[in-house]
């Protein structure tokens, strides 16, 4: 059975501050990612994980934290399960997601809408 663990805001923030090499992955559609995402996050939807994960996340032993909008959003859980099933061995889900991060006043990044 493939598994992943849970991680909370304080630990995600600590990893970012310490620059531990954690890979943040947002599991939301592009428009939501462009509006605001956690610092340094990349975007990968659970329905495209099989075609894009190895390109975006070549190191299957890297510490990967996936998140989506909030505890009611299941995209991050689906993505974490898919990554674990593909042999990624150090996957964690930040279940509270972007809503929790922003509510705590932590920084986000945004990308301009393409022309």
Q: 112 lies in a domain?
A: no
Q: 108 lies in a domain?
A: no
Q: Which domain holds residue 82?
A: 5-103
Per-residue pLDDT tens over the stretch 97-111: 999 999 999 999 998
Q: Tell me the β-bridge partners of 15.
A: none
Domain count within the chain: 1
Percent of residues in the chain assigned helix, strand, coil, to nearest 5: 40, 15, 45
Q: 113 lies in a domain?
A: no
Mean pLDDT of 49-63: 96
Q: Give the pLDDT score at 114.
A: 58
**CATH number of domain containing 21:** 3.40.250.10
Q: 72 lies in a domain?
A: yes
Q: Tell me the β-bridge partners of 26.
A: 43, 67
Q: How far apart are CA 32 and CA 110, in angstroms?
A: 9
Is the predicted pLDDT of residue 1 greater than 70, yes or no?
Answer: no
> Between the CA atoms of 74, 80, 8 and 64, what dihedral angle is there, to the nearest 10 degrees?
-140
Q: 115 lies in a domain?
A: no
At 18, the pLDDT band (50, 70, 90 cuts) reads: very high
Q: Which residues are within 8 A (CB) of 85 and not within 5 positions of it... i.e. 6 or more apart? A: 2
Is the predicted pLDDT of residue 115 greater than 60, yes or no?
Answer: no
């Amino acid at each position: 059975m493939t598994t992943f663990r849970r991680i909370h805001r304080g630990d995600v923030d600590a990893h970012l501050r310490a620059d531990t090499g954690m890979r943040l992955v947002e599991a939301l559609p592009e428009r939501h990612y462009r509006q605001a995402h956690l610092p340094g996050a990349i975007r990968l939807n659970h329905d495209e994980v099989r075609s894009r994960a190895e390109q975006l996340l070549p190191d299957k032993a890297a510490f990967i934290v996936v998140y989506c909008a909030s505890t009611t959003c299941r995209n991050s859980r689906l993505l974490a399960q898919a990554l674990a099933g593909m042999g990624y061995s150090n996957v964690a889900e930040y279940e509270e997601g972007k809503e929790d991060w922003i509510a705590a006043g932590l920084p986000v990044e945004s990308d301009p809408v393409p022309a």
